[in-house]
Amino acid sequence: MTTPPVDAAEPAPAHAQASAHQAPKAATPSTPMPTVAVIGNPNTGKSTLFNALTGLRQKVGNYPGVTVEKHVGQITVGGMTVQLIDLPGSYSLAAYSPDEMIAVDVLLGRIPGERRPDAVLVVVDATNLRRNFYLASQVLELGMPVVIALNMIDLATARNISIDAKKLAANLGAAVVPTAAATGVGLDELRAALDCAVKTPSAPTWQIFPALKTAAAELATAHSTPKSPLMAYEIERALLDVGAPAEARVVARQDAALTTALTATRESLSDGRPLAALEAATRYRWIAEQLAATETRGTPPPSWTDRIDAVLTHPVAGLVVFVAVMALVFQAVFVGAEPLMKGIDAGFGAVGEFLAEWLGNGILASFLVDGVIAGVGAVVMFLPQILVLFLFIAILEDTGYMARAAFLMDRVMRFCGLSGQSFVPLLSSFACAVPGIMATRTIPDRRDRLATILVAPLMSCAARLPVYTILIAAFVPAQLSVAGVISVQGLVLLAMYLTGIIAAIAAATVFKRLILRGPTPVFLMELPTYKRLRFRAVAMRLWDRAKVFLVRAGTIIFVVVIVVWALGYFPRSETLAANFEAQRETARTQTAAPATAETEADAEADAKALEARLAEIDAAEQMAQLEQSVFGQIGHAVEPIFRPLGWDWRISAATIASFPAREVVVGVLGTTFALGSDVDIDDAEGETKMTHALQSATHPDGRPLFTLPVALGLMVFFALCMQCGATLATIKRETNSWGWPIVTWFYMTGLAYVAALAVVHLTTAIGL
Amino acid sequence: MGTNATTPITLDRLKPGQRAVIRTVRGEGPLAQRLLEMGLLAGEAVRMVRVAPAGDPLEIEILGYSLSLRRNEAAAVDVEHVQ
């Protein structure tokens, strides 16, 4: 059935020819850096191995057109630098989505502008060679030098599994190195094997399913044109993965005759059974042959995983533990990150104040303080939540509990067309959608991941809470209660959270039916054995995520803050400035009159009064300048749109100006209601000032601005709207496209408007 | 004839703790291909480990590892129940 290594003459496409399995010479500065692709099943410790090899010499990017992250690292072997490309974890090269196709494209050298790798490192779980060798068997057929890392060899030994690596290597025609990435075992040998693979390459040329290989090669030759050469492996994938990207692609490039030929070949090869079934049976038979001579499995010791799972997936105990773990994660992100965020806020505030004092009141000061420093602060502010959440995600994933959480939650999440893996990202989004959206990386299915990203910002995040509390404190009477126990204020707050959840369920359902429509994704999920946590692996993941956020999303957030600053600053009215300066002068001269201060106490009181008066003038100036800035003008311009919601220009402007991140909305409300942007509502006095300002605000005709319906409408608007540049920047970064953030903004803003309008009208109708 | 040992049923009908031998994975397309790749081949032994508290998904043991799959996915797999 199987043909031992001879020659797999694979016609490489024109742009891949330079590198495709011709012996690359030892790298000199003039030749391109040798490249090794790293591939493996999920849960094999592939990323840990990648990190252990490359350390901090890593870069994260994106492949064009897909959401897959591109991890590239460098290692030095034998005095030469080799580039490692970490491919997404997968069980097979079969590709049913563009994201899955990336591995095939990288291995074949089909990524535009990139060379075909010089060798492949396949990471396998030494405790489960049978299933892990499925992917390895596919890679061994590609005609590239292969190095196999038998990772987690320590666990295999502990389970009385012994593997004859030398014999396996000789039989396979590939280097085989036992490793334990978590403890550093075998890394030197692995480096040496990689060195050897790129310096003196020898490629195994297995033909595990020769009939398929031959048929694919014939089709490729018959249908290739000089302009568009077909690779035999592309045809092989097109034959196996019916209706998947590989087939669509070769058919699109070639004539319709190829479609007919593909169908005919499938039929002739498979004698009635699906070709994929034949392939699987053939490969597993080959694997059994290979392992029969090289792997011996003794009696395994009793498994801890079974005993732990008896508790952790138990209908009662399991759910209790689950709720406790999730409550802990949520608390940690929501509350635990707060001291750090407060510290960062205070730190940037202090720097800003210092600069402001030093630079005075000019445009430079405003640009540096409210633009640059605020911008950097707005980015850094997210780090504590991201780090805390990813600390927990790393712990949950590396120990193996994350898969159990998805197992427990899958049925519930499927209610709105999502899967169990969406639970943790959505839960985290109650603290902040930014880390929540970053956490969707753990969702394997592309459409499930996009649906989760689209609805994650509907979860009421921590930054919306101040808006709710201030409006509730100002407009929902504190003494109102249901049956004397449940406070209505509390109920309104709960209603805001429920509004977000219900909207998210509805939106997810609609998205999965409309723009993310498609066959139900396959849920097959390995439940890995529980593993000990390794500090280094966790630290590397935190470093990786922090870097990705700061560099990729951070720059967008920073630019948004600068733009919003400029819109709120320009045009500056000199007349207004002079006017308010005159007011300040008057206040100062009045207080300075020495005769009025008879005692020291009086002088002190005068100084205090002056300070208060000056603060008032400053706040009034901020508001006046904002009103005639671009923002104020926009606020006025959109007033008609928001009039049905009962808003005036101040609320509109505050809503728009809070765009850099919802965190700033209290500050902007402070400005628009002439309290100054540094009003602190955590402080009782600040809160009283704010509630009073909102309660006494009026329309120009003297009607109160806020009625209870208007306040409720504003809260619902904030619960559902997408006024958060940081979230949009993160969506852009995670989906690798501007389309999805635009979709998110429009659907959420539309939803927020309609819902707010409905609330205003309904509550007015029932006489609130 | 009629004994439990030879009655073909679908994988989702197994009760926790029950063992079976896989007969075939029905159908074509991504689900069938993924099931086969994960090792659900004819003749392979499988054990139903547990059912999630909500009644779905299921956890099975195959090729010595634990795999979670949904009920409707398991329904595409014909097995022979063995005692």
Q: Give the pLDDT confidence of B26-41 residue by residue, as tens digits.
A: 988 899 999 999 999 9
| pLDDT score, position A598 | 65
Chain A from 413 to 432: CB within 8 A of any B CB: 414, 420
Q: How do residues A557-571 score in pLDDT, each as one tens digit?
A: 888 888 888 888 888
pLDDT tens, residue by residue, A516-551? 888 778 889 999 999 988 888 899 889 988 988 888
The pTM of the whole model exceeds 0.90: no
CB A209 within 8 A of CB A239: no
pLDDT tens sequence across A68-85: 889 999 999 988 999 999
Q: Report residue A662's pLDDT band, with 50, 70 and 90 as the boundaries.
A: low
Most confident segment among A395-399, A650-654, A739-743: A739-743
Report d(CA A734, CA A441) in Å as an integer: 8
Per-residue pLDDT at A21: 41
Residue A768: what pLDDT?
A: 74
- Assign A716 a pLDDT band (cuts: 50, 70, 90): very high
Whether A677 contacts A671, CB under 8 Å? yes
Distance, in Å, from the CA atom of A151 to the CA atom of A158, rounded to the nearest integer, reads 13
Taking the C-alpha atoms of residue A729 and residue A731, their distance in angstroms, rounded to an integer, is 5
Measured between alpha carbons, how far is A473 from A478 in angstroms, rounded to an integer? 7
Computed over every residue of chain A, the mean pLDDT equals 86
Angle ∠(A462,A468,A469) on CA atoms, nearest 5: 95
Per-residue pLDDT tens over the stretch A603-628: 788 888 888 888 888 888 888 888 88
Q: What's the pLDDT at A84?
A: 96
The 3-state secondary structure of A601-662 reads: HHHHHHHHHHHHHHHHHHHHHHHHHHHHCHHHHHHHHCHHHHHHHCCCHHHHHHHHHCCCCH
Q: Which residues of A touch B63 (CB under 8 A)?
A: 128, 130-131
Place of tokens 């920073």: A558
Inter-chain CB proximity B33 and A241 less than 8 Å: yes
Chain A CB within 8 Å of residue B53 CB: yes
Nearest to B71, CA basis, from B23, B27, B31, B17: B31
Instruction: Mention every residue, 6+ apart, whose C-beta is less than 8 A from residue B60.
Output: B11, B46, B47, B48, B49, B66, B67, B68, B69, B74
Q: Please state, in angstroms and rounded to a whole number, the distance separating the CA atoms of residues A516 and A314.
A: 34
Nearest residue to A727 via CA among A641, A642, A660, A627? A660
Contact in structure between A186 and A128 (CB atoms under 8 Å): no
pLDDT value of residue A561: 85
pLDDT tens per residue across span B26-82: 988 899 999 999 999 999 999 999 999 999 999 999 999 999 999 999 999 999 988
Q: Are A95 and A104 in contact (CB under 8 A)?
A: yes
pLDDT at A678: 66
B56 close contact with A: CB closer than 8 A: yes
| Model pLDDT, residue A711 | 92
Give the pLDDT score at A633: 87
Backbone angles phi, psi at B65, to 5 degrees: -130, 170
**A291 — contact with chain B (CB < 8 Å)?**
no
Please check the confidence at residue A734 and state whether its pLDDT lies above 70.
yes
Cβ density class A725-743: b for 16+ within 10 Å, e for less: bbbbbbbbbbbbeeebbeb
Residues A93-111 have a mean pLDDT of 92
B32 vs A131: CB contact, 8 Å cut-off?
no
β-strand pairing of B77-82 with A295-297? unpaired
A207-236 confidence digits (pLDDT tens): 999 999 999 999 999 888 888 888 899 999
Q: What is the pLDDT of residue A729?
A: 92
What value does the mean pLDDT take over residues A328-332?
Answer: 87
- What's the pLDDT at B79? 96
Q: Determine the pLDDT at residue A79.
A: 87
Q: What is the per-residue pLDDT for A667?
A: 73
Which residue shows structure tokens 């699987």? A280
Q: What percent of chain A lies above the pLDDT cut of 90?
A: 43
Chain A positions touching B73 (Cβ under 8 A) are 522-524
- Cross-strand partners of A149: A123, A177
Joined together, the tokens standing for residue A75 give: 């290692």
The strands making up B8-10's β-sheet, listed across from edge to edge, are A525-526, B65-69, B58-62, B45-51, B19-25, B77-82, B8-10
Chain B contact for A407 (CB, 8 A cutoff) = yes
Contacts of A412 (CB under 8 A, 6+ apart): A423, B54
List, in order, residues 6 or more apart from A53 with CB less than 8 Å away.
A73, A75, A84, A187, A190, A191
A326 pLDDT more than 70: yes
Specify the higher pLDDT residue, A596 or B75: B75
- A369-389 per-position pLDDT tens digit: 888 888 888 888 888 988 998
pLDDT band at A202 (very low <50, low <70, confident <90, very high): confident
